[in-house]
Amino acid sequence: MIAPPETTRTDSLRVSCMGASDVPGDGLGHPRVWLQIDPDVGFVDCGYCDRRFILNGGPADIDHDQAHSAKP
């Protein structure tokens, strides 16, 4: 079974990804790429490392939707 992609939440529609090299340590990473999140979709995946960037409060932000739909 393939592990799910790493996810990063963001408030910006435009994000950059450098793979493991943007995490401290000795990771190799990949060239920096700029990605644009479609506001109607709410996320974008990096074509190099499959990291998923989720727009906070967007349609793909399931954690946000569940937190706000819970009744006190």
> Is 59 among the domain residues?
yes
Q: Is the pTM of this model over 0.85?
A: no
Return the CATH number at 18: 2.60.260.40
Total domains in the chain come to 1
Q: Per-residue b/e over 11-38, b at no fewer than 16 CB within 10 Å?
A: eeeebebbbebeeeeeeeebeeeebebe
pLDDT in tens, the chain (72 residues): 666 678 999 999 999 998 865 555 555 678 999 999 999 999 999 999 899 999 999 999 987 545 555 444
> Is 25 among the domain residues?
yes
Which pLDDT value is given to residue 71?
47
